[in-house]
Amino acid sequence: MADATLKNHLKIGAVEQPHFANYEIIRRLGFGAGSVIYSVKNKKSGQICALKHVIRKEGENGRMIEQVENEYHIGTKIDHPYVRKTLEIHRRRHHWRTREVIMLMEYCPGVSLEQSPSRSLLDLLLIFRMVADGIGGMHNQGYLHCDMKPNNIIIADNGLIRIIDFGQSCRNGTIKPRIQGTPDYIAPEQVKRKPLSTRTDVFNLGATMYWALTGKHVPTLIPKKHADRLNLSVPSDSEAPVAPHQLKPKIPVGVSNLVMECVKNDPRERPADMPTLISRFDLLIHLITDGKPIAANGVNGVNGANGINGPRKYH
């Protein structure tokens, strides 16, 4: 969707949408299956925000509208430095149905982990620790993320991160009526529509860690290349993931073992929660740095990009 088209939808400067008359679209940041995200500037305050725009098309059941509503409902309840802030939402209704939703969010400049250049082992562990901290903040409020993947981790120039996209988030213990998740990162219980828990986010993060370290994906019940076909049986031994340290010998066995624990098919065999992961990350970081202090921002700091023992790139 072109910028001009979006402006026509928003009616910027027109009486029909006076609230958004104060926002100037800067550029398109990205788009999803049914949404477009822009960076916008408040003409009065100069504040820059991210704006997500969703329109219900004719014949659609409104699933994307519901997803944005869910993202707003949960996002406004989470207050954590590593989680993107959700600011406000505006709806346009026609014949008593919501036809259009516009949601304003914190603008988070940076690149996603998926787009980020190769990083040292220490950088990655510091990133994973921040992600676990942020997801833990969601868990403390009773919510799960349910779609952790490299594209949902934004890394700023100062090395700090923001977790984004709560469209698939839900209450701890939820049994979803349909399969939701991202192929290559989705947990078995998400595919089998069983109760979701903090260990679901542990799997999603573990699959993200596996990719970041090895450049390969963990075998899941819905791999991206076969996303139209479901394999509801537990993957056989031949399909089980190869341990990261076997693919990349520079990866310490302790790091490799943690990743493999996170992506166990049985949730009961995974680490229980994010505080458990954080403790493991702290121990691994301590071992890698020989107990020496890390720069305040960690990633890309004095002991970040080059690390105590020099750069280690994995893919």
Residue ranges of domains in the chain: 23-106, 111-226+233-289
Closest CA to 307 of 130, 126, 160: 126
Task: Compute how many other C-beta atoms are within 10 angstroms of the C-beta atom of residue 201.
Answer: 30
H-helix or E-strand spanning residue 102: strand 97-106
Closest CA to 102 of 11, 168, 1: 11
pLDDT computed for residue 13 by the predictor:
36
pLDDT computed for residue 239 by the predictor:
72
Q: How many CA atoms lie within 13 A of 9 on its CB side?
A: 21
H-helix or E-strand spanning residue 19: none
**Cα 7 to Cα 107: distance, rounded to the nearest angstrom:** 19
Q: Is-same-fold flag (23-106; 111-226+233-289)?
A: no
pLDDT computed for residue 98 by the predictor:
79
Q: Classify domain 111-226+233-289 by CATH architecture.
A: Orthogonal Bundle (1.10)
pLDDT computed for residue 285 by the predictor:
96
Closest CA to 149 of 180, 107, 193: 180
For the chain, list residues with pLDDT below 70.
Answer: 1-21, 58-61, 225-238, 291-315
What's the CATH superfamily of 23-106?
A: Phosphorylase Kinase; domain 1 (3.30.200.20)
pLDDT computed for residue 17 by the predictor:
36
pLDDT computed for residue 46 by the predictor:
94
